Amino acid sequence: MSTTTKVQAEQIGKAYGQTTVLQNLDLAVHSGELLTLLGPSGSGKTTLLQIISGLTEPTAGRLLIDGRDETWTPVHQRDIGVVFQNYALFPHLTLEENVGFPLRMRRMPAAEIARKVKAALEMVELGHAAKRFPRALSGGQQQRVALARCLVYQPSVILMDEPLGALDRKLRETMQMEIKRIHRESGATIIFVTHDQEEALALSDRICLMNEGKIAQIDTPEAIYQQPNSTFVAEFIGLSNILQGEVQNGSLVTPQGAFALPGMAASGNAALVIRPEHIQLCSADQALLHGKISERIYAGSETRVVVTLANGARFIVRSSGVSAGAIGDQVSLNWDVANSRVLSA
């Protein structure tokens, strides 16, 4: 992947009166990548997307696209395509007419419009349905038409604001694979907004995790999951078990006991993060912790077990198969210290 910068946000800030929504952040989006803006409600991800699109003006900083300062460029003059959650298709137009609409607005020759529309519909695997109307399509098919309409005029950047939010789980997963395929085949630069961390992990080249108007961490899905840089990231991306305590003589001393740390850590308060898949049920003589199974959730490929410790703290364990014990069973837990991560508290 090219590391050429397509979109550069420099000290971008946004405030509404006394309320700060974006706290002067810096972000570089690489050309040809699919970058996901992820975060809880109110983290600023949609505001940042709106500033990039031109729908909202920043109160600080500047925005560059392909090296040009576009901070104050009107929305209709930016070379940006947007895919919305609600599809926004014209119900009285056929699919090919919907997809061709932005080209007609640009007054392209009819032959060129026909060629581009055919290619765009084939890219989203709806070439056979060109003469149909949107009402004849499923939700997933309508979203693919909206994507084709955005791709057809080859904008410099494509923005997607929770485009799969209205779809059911199975259709969302299908559309995630479609978007990955289309992104790979088109080479487009895509900025994708979602609050669904599983969707972000599945889709992204990189994830920009936001919290309270700031970037908490930006990295590949693998790195942000395996190497979170804060307890917020560890808790938001996937499930985590977190032990809080004080570092003493190379161990973390917590209310649950003292635990070995992966590598050297400075003294002071710290947190030990262990993902549920790295915890094993074990015999009592090998245990690092003891507790009682308080909940058990079977999910096909895995069983998720919640273990409540003597002091009331809860640990989540992922176990393959079904032999994970029953509710009320006393169990013992351990983990390989190399699979844990220590973070500054």
pLDDT of residue 15: 96
Q: Tell me, yes or no, whether 174 and 136 share the same domain.
A: yes
Q: Tell me, yes or no, whether 253 and 320 share the same domain.
A: yes
Give the C-alpha separation, 148 to 35, whole Å.
19
pLDDT of residue 2: 46
Q: Tell me, yes or no, whether 22 and 154 share the same domain.
A: yes
pLDDT over threshold 60, residue 1: no
pLDDT of residue 164: 84
**Residue 312 sits in which domain range?**
239-344
Task: Give the tens place of pLDDT for each residue, 114-172.
Answer: 999 999 999 888 999 999 999 999 888 898 898 899 888 888 899 998 888 877 888 88
φ/ψ of residue 15, rounded to 5:
-135, 145
Angle, CA 337 vertex, CA 304 and CA 313 arms, to 5°: 45
Q: Using a pLDDT cut of 70, give the percent of the chain over it.
A: 98
Q: Tell me, yes or no, whether 281 and 165 share the same domain.
A: no
Last residue within a domain, chosen from 231, 263, 292: 231
φ/ψ of residue 232, rounded to 5:
-60, -45
Q: Tell me, yes or no, whether 167 and 210 share the same domain.
A: yes
Model pTM score: 0.89
Find the CATH number of the domain harbouring 225: 3.40.50.300
Token output for 103: 């080209």
Closest CA to 295 of 305, 303, 308: 305
pLDDT over threshold 90, residue 185: no
- Average pLDDT for residues 249-269, to the nearest whole number? 87
Give the C-alpha separation, 153 to 79, whole Å.
10
Q: Tell me, yes or no, whether 79 and 132 share the same domain.
A: yes
Taking the CA of residue 178 as centre, how many other CA atoms within 13 Å lie in the half-sphere pointing to its CB? 23
Q: Which residues have a Cβ under 8 Å from the Cβ of 338 and sit 6 or more positions away?
A: 262
Last residue within a domain, chosen from 202, 231, 260: 231
Q: Tell me, yes or no, whether 52 and 178 share the same domain.
A: yes
- Average pLDDT for residues 75-83, to the nearest whole number? 90
Closest CA to 269 of 345, 193, 331: 345
How many CB atoms neighbour CB 161 within 10 A? 20
Last residue within a domain, chosen from 204, 231, 258: 231
Find the CATH number of the domain harbouring 316: 2.40.50.140
Angle, CA 209 vertex, CA 336 and CA 335 arms, to 5°: 10
- Check if the beta carbon of residue 54 is closer than 8 Å to that of residue 80: yes
- Check if the beta carbon of residue 85 is closer than 8 Å to that of residue 161: yes
Token output for 341: 């991560």
Q: Tell me, yes or no, whether 96 and 220 share the same domain.
A: yes
**β partners of residue 317:** 305
Task: Give the tens place of pLDDT for each residue, 65-76.
Answer: 999 999 999 998
| Number of domains making up the chain | 2
Token output for 13: 């800030």
Q: Tell me, yes or no, whether 13 and 143 share the same domain.
A: yes
pLDDT of residue 277: 92
Q: Tell me, yes or no, whether 177 and 257 share the same domain.
A: no
Token output for 235: 């808790």
pLDDT over threshold 90, residue 266: no
Q: Tell me, yes or no, whether 219 and 243 share the same domain.
A: no
- Check if the beta carbon of residue 245 is closer than 8 Å to that of residue 255: yes
Q: Tell me, yes or no, whether 218 and 315 share the same domain.
A: no
